[in-house]
Structure 1
Amino acid sequence: MSDISGTTGTGITDVTGASGGARPPEERRSWAPMVGLFLAQVLMSFNVAALPISLGGMVEDFGVPPTVASTTIVVYGLVVAALVMTGAKLGQRVGWVLIFRVVVALFAVSSLMMIFSPTIGWAIGGQVLAGASAAIIVPALVALIAENYRGAQQATAVGSLGSARAFSGISAFLIGGTLGTLVGWRPVFFITLGLAVAVFALSFRLRGDRGDRSIRIDLVASVLIGAAIVLLTLGFNNLNAWGIVLAGPDAPFSVLGLSPAPVLVLAGIILGQAFFMWTRRRMRLGRVPLVDLSVLSQPTERAAVYAMFVIVAMEAAVNFTVPTYIQVVQGRTPFDTSLAMMPFNLTVFVTATLIVRFYRRHSPRTIALFAFGLTTAALLWLAFVVSNNWETVPTIVGLIAFGIGQGALVTLVFNVLVTAAPKELAGDVGSIRGTTQNLASAVGTAVMGALLVTMLTLNFTQAAVEHPELPEELKAEVGLAQVNFVSNDDLRAKFEETSATPEQIDAAVEINEEERLNTLRLGFLVLAGISALAALPASRLPKYKPEEIPDPMAAGSGDD
């Protein structure tokens, strides 16, 4: 990484400067450009949150199975994760403001494809286009914040991106759920269309460079990282469906009897390592890499990425666990889910915005350790107080406490990365952020799902074996080796198709209800353990002094 004049060894600018004098007051800019960037983050997050709400409508409209309709969700995430690093380099070549306007316009086109799609293929194509656009918007947001804001304004701007994600989740469930119930799924995407138009109009308030035409995109690295992300995402997302180790009945193929899911994960890891080896070699030869790994050269910067991965994975796990339990087990609606998750999402929204006020009084290390301590305590609390009713005060308190820690951490670790890198590498930071968050979200959701189903199967099977009212013939008839999260009514319906007596059905439902709750509590305990272990990377985050303000964006450059 280029040497930053007047900085400490951690890449943080000393406010007193080399001569000991006070640094001149930083320029303050209008927040109008940031409104456009905030809405761009809302646009992407709202689109993601609206897709699950729209699945039922797409299934009915297009006459396809839910698994086919859910492809819209899968392809969006895959395209974003696979192309985000390439998108960052393309932005550096073309110029961030110009390419930002182009991809926002393409996002508007994707919304039109969703609104007027005659077949499921058009809807899937619309999300491919939206994902490709988001792959450039994600790093563009970081680069444009670095270009337009400094110091405290920059920290506030970065924090707003985290709060925008939570705000989008709330609004998508409430607005999308209402529209989907009263009108249909298509009008939901009029909102994304309107957002895209507003962002495009506000983009003319942004300032940015004209790009560097001499930059060449490393196609080999682009293919390596794209393929690695696709394989990792597909592998983790299908651990539960295809089998964690051995191939299950739903696996498309097997590798010597093994499930293809872990094989894909292993192949993704190998390609990821090949990407890093290729990129380091290219940097040694003095060529422009797909992503400048110097933004991860310091232990503090790597610690920030590790911490970001952990907190996003935990957030994804909670966002998977709670809605799954409410909608699948309790049989309630997405609107009920949004109400149950409202305390958590509102807390994340508020905390991500306000946490920047603590940056001048407390170091990132102190805030991170406190936040991970809070998430650990919250998850432990939830493990002991969670019940079949999510509206209880103890459960709400636990979700709020977890939301405070999560909101603080997402903003904090992102700020550490942006602060540590010079302005010209802000796009690389954005691409690393996008890759980390997308991969962590997939891993958190998939691993939590596989963990819960595996534990439920073991616990339910063991309890059924020990229950005298459930004979071996009935267990084989129902297929208790493949237990999943189901509602009591669905389980009763399944047993009623067998030779089970009413007493045996009642016993099975009672066992399932008890073991579901035990499994949920074990899941929260596992997450609490992961949260506690995250103190290790958190302890490596920078320990700025209160009188130091991270602002390398204003620094000059030097030799390596």
Structure 2
Amino acid sequence: MTTAETNAPAIEKASWRPMIALFCAQILMSFNVAALPVSLGGMVDDFGVPPTTVSTAIVMYGIAVAALVMVGAKLGQRVGWVLIFRIVIGLFALAEVLMIFAPTVGWVIGAQALAGASAAIIVPALVALIAENYRGTQQATAIGSLGSARAISGFSAFFIGGALGTLVGWRPVFAILVVLAVVVFILSFSLRSDRGDSSIKIDIVGAVLIGLGIVLLTLGFNNLNAWGILEARPDAPFDILGLSPAIVFIVVGIVLGQAFFLWTRRRTKTGKVPLIALSVLRSSRERSAVYAMFIIVLLEAAINFTIPLYTQIVQGRTPFDTSLAMIPFNLTVFVTATLVVRFYRRYSPRTIGIFSFVLTTAALVWLSFVVTNNWETFPTILGLIVFGVGQGALVTLVFNVLVTASPKELAGDVGSVRGTTQNLASAVGTAFAGALLVTILGLNVGQAVIAHPDLPKSLTSQVDLDSVNFVSNDRLREVLSKTDATPAQVDAAVQINEDSRLNALRLGLLLLAGVSAVAIIPAVRLPRYRPHELPDPSPTASPSPSAPAAD
């Protein structure tokens, strides 16, 4: 037993009732995000739009959260966390009502923008209210429960959403969230928090810089395929000397992000309150935790978009089939996120982080070799389970590193960092997966069409096969039936499309494995100490002599 453990004062345990409200609020947000991919097929049929258009709703939610979460943290500090928490829960419920009655995909995108704006305040509120209501091991358990809530909502959203989507339709899925929002609002009366501080000022310049930067970054990544990776395509809204606006948006977004940090440092030096206290990222340990969080959430979003894309659009299967395909992954994430807290007293964050990224890398490499057009084979399920173990451990771990390294007063800032990172990563991951897979598919189909002896130029001029999006075999046969293609040529075209889709999936998974492998580098910089050895981060606390030196 360390000196820190011996001298630590006894902390009276608080009731878990307030945590029920926070747990359900996390489920509310995560269920909404997870329900969108499983509703992909239903929305495509309902609105008559391609799947990449529906994915814009997922991206829009992420944009709104990531762009506004830092402002949301300051609003919470100014108004008071409990009061503003109740207000935005009501707005979230309104967004779900819009989802239920949406007449077009534009309404869906708008509803998700409102849900994201609401979540931009809920996300930091969860962290701040946990810090207000819990201490010590209870706080670590509460933080871990948020990771569990994300996982269980993903599991339940795919299962319930798949069943309802198959039997009734995709809209009733979001009616569940209206009911859940009402429950969270009622439970919120068990929360306690300090009153707001009306003297807190919001840094408008910083808010514009980071908000606009995140919007441009996400729009750029989301439209890489439609607008062109380097050279502007005909569908691009404009071009700069032939250059795609997507890459321009990404570069300008990065520049604005750097400008935000420069402006924040300047504002801090002059004694003014910044939009976010950069002290929560003061060391390489905290920055490494943010990098690790970004990468693992990006990978999770890519997987959550890819599997429904293939099961519903490519294979033409039901949403319930999609839920069955996702159960091994989501259930594993839930169990791991719940149990990983038990390992904190035995292993350092660095050890757990490196091991987890090795698992996710190995799982993605494995999947790239064994995956077929059937997601229910044992090798594929095994790969998803291994990836789920690594993902579940990492999301809880890196969040815990950030919270335990900062004083309670900065809990809202930690929450805004978490919200910005996770939602930007989710939006970029979804957009990146879509652009990557469609680009690889286009290249594969284009090369195969040129090389195939049974597909003459007269046929390819009637159907632009080298720019085909992800479609089912039945849909492709329907398109080809309107041409003068012979049955043999139709079979050849369908076989090309089928082979190209599978090759695109395998290569895409292999590239994601490369991203996961790179993440081992920031994981090496995670703390070497275990959470119970961490000194009190409060500004008034003296350093514990037993705590290991920072590295």
Structure 2 length-normalised TM: 0.91
Please name the residue that 1:521 is paired with: 506
Task: Identify the match of residue 348 of structure 1 among 333, 337, 351.
Answer: 333
For residues 110-509 of structure 1, the aligned pairs below 5 Å read 110-115=95-100, 126-509=111-494
> Against the structure 1 CA distance between its residues 79 and 197, is the aligned structure 2 distance closer, same or farther, given a 3 Å change threshold?
same
Q: Which moved more, 1:203-212 or 1:406-415?
A: 203-212
Distance 2:110 2:511 in 1: 38
On the 8 A contact 1:45/1:165 being kept in 2, the answer is yes
Q: Which moved more, 1:401-410 or 1:314-323?
A: 314-323
> Against the structure 1 CA distance between its residues 553 and 42, is the aligned structure 2 distance closer, same or farther, given a 3 Å change threshold?
farther
Please name the residue that 2:536 is paired with: 552
On the 8 A contact 2:41/2:319 being kept in 1, the answer is no
Distance 1:514 1:321 in 2: 16
> Against the structure 1 CA distance between its residues 119 and 378, is the aligned structure 2 distance closer, same or farther, given a 3 Å change threshold?
closer
Distance 2:408 2:79 in 1: 16
Q: Secondary structure at the match of 1:552?
A: coil
Q: Secondary structure at the match of 2:273?
A: coil
Please name the residue that 2:31 is paired with: 46
Distance 1:246 1:214 in 2: 49
Distance 1:261 1:404 in 2: 34
Cα shift at 1:486: 2.2
> Against the structure 1 CA distance between its residues 472 and 105, is the aligned structure 2 distance closer, same or farther, given a 3 Å change threshold?
closer
What letter is aligned with 1:332? R
On the 8 A contact 1:242/1:249 being kept in 2, the answer is yes
Q: Which moved more, 1:548-557 or 1:303-312?
A: 548-557
> Against the structure 1 CA distance between its residues 507 and 44, is the aligned structure 2 distance closer, same or farther, given a 3 Å change threshold?
same
Cα shift at 1:150: 1.9
Cα shift at 1:509: 2.2
> Against the structure 1 CA distance between its residues 269 and 344, is the aligned structure 2 distance closer, same or farther, given a 3 Å change threshold?
same
On the 8 A contact 1:150/1:553 being kept in 2, the answer is no
What letter is aligned with 2:456? P
Cα shift at 1:397: 0.5
> Against the structure 1 CA distance between its residues 15 and 287, is the aligned structure 2 distance closer, same or farther, given a 3 Å change threshold?
farther
> Against the structure 1 CA distance between its residues 134 and 277, is the aligned structure 2 distance closer, same or farther, given a 3 Å change threshold?
same
Please name the residue that 1:5 is paired with: none
Distance 2:212 2:533 in 1: 39
Q: Percent identity?
A: 70
Cα shift at 1:399: 0.3
Deviation per residue, 1:102-129 (Å, 9 max, x gap): 2223323333444566787766554443
Q: Please say if 1:16 is aligned against 2:10.
A: no
Deviation per residue, 1:483-542 (Å, 9 max, x gap): 332222223333333333222222222233223222211111111111111110000000
On the 8 A contact 1:180/1:188 being kept in 2, the answer is yes
Distance 2:309 2:539 in 1: 48
Distance 1:243 1:481 in 2: 15
Please name the residue that 1:541 is paired with: 526
Structure 1 length-normalised TM: 0.90
Deviation per residue, 1:312-353 (Å, 9 max, x gap): 111111112221111121111222111101100110111111
On the 8 A contact 1:233/1:442 being kept in 2, the answer is yes
> Against the structure 1 CA distance between its residues 191 and 83, is the aligned structure 2 distance closer, same or farther, given a 3 Å change threshold?
same
On the 8 A contact 1:110/1:130 being kept in 2, the answer is yes
Cα shift at 1:60: 8.0
Distance 2:517 2:40 in 1: 36
Output the aligned Cα RMSD.
2.6
Cα shift at 1:273: 1.3
Cα shift at 1:91: 0.8
Cα shift at 1:384: 1.3
What letter is aligned with 1:531? S
Cα shift at 1:436: 0.8
Please name the residue that 2:92 is paired with: 107
Task: Identify the match of residue 82 of structure 2 among 88, 97, 100.
Answer: 97
On the 8 A contact 2:95/2:114 being kept in 1, the answer is yes
Deviation per residue, 1:345-371 (Å, 9 max, x gap): 110111111100000000000001111
Deviation per residue, 1:227-250 (Å, 9 max, x gap): 111111111111112221222232
Cα shift at 1:55: 6.6
Cα shift at 1:543: 0.5
Q: Which moved more, 1:29-38 or 1:296-305?
A: 29-38
Distance 1:510 1:122 in 2: 37
Task: Identify the match of residue 14 of structure 2 among 26, 29, 34.
Answer: 29
Cα shift at 1:25: 2.6
What letter is aligned with 1:209? D
Q: Which moved more, 1:406-415 or 1:515-524?
A: 515-524
On the 8 A contact 1:79/1:131 being kept in 2, the answer is yes
Deviation per residue, 1:152-203 (Å, 9 max, x gap): 2212211111121222222223323433444454443332222122212222
> Against the structure 1 CA distance between its residues 119 and 492, is the aligned structure 2 distance closer, same or farther, given a 3 Å change threshold?
closer
> Against the structure 1 CA distance between its residues 405 and 131, is the aligned structure 2 distance closer, same or farther, given a 3 Å change threshold?
same
Q: Which moved more, 1:251-260 or 1:395-404?
A: 251-260
Cα shift at 1:552: 3.2
Q: Secondary structure at the match of 2:7?
A: coil
Q: Which moved more, 1:484-493 or 1:520-529?
A: 484-493
Q: Which moved more, 1:160-169 or 1:405-414?
A: 160-169
> Against the structure 1 CA distance between its residues 116 and 468, is the aligned structure 2 distance closer, same or farther, given a 3 Å change threshold?
closer
> Against the structure 1 CA distance between its residues 60 and 475, is the aligned structure 2 distance closer, same or farther, given a 3 Å change threshold?
closer
Distance 1:125 1:415 in 2: 33
Deviation per residue, 1:248-307 (Å, 9 max, x gap): 232222222222211111121121111111111101111100011111110000000000
Distance 2:530 2:38 in 1: 46
What letter is aligned with 2:265? R
Distance 2:293 2:287 in 1: 10
> Against the structure 1 CA distance between its residues 118 and 225, is the aligned structure 2 distance closer, same or farther, given a 3 Å change threshold?
same
What letter is aligned with 2:508? G
Distance 1:240 1:216 in 2: 40
On the 8 A contact 2:224/2:435 being kept in 1, the answer is yes
On the 8 A contact 2:59/2:428 being kept in 1, the answer is no
> Against the structure 1 CA distance between its residues 408 and 69, is the aligned structure 2 distance closer, same or farther, given a 3 Å change threshold?
closer
Distance 1:267 1:179 in 2: 42
Distance 2:440 2:156 in 1: 34
> Against the structure 1 CA distance between its residues 109 and 354, is the aligned structure 2 distance closer, same or farther, given a 3 Å change threshold?
same
Cα shift at 1:557: 5.6
Distance 2:214 2:106 in 1: 23
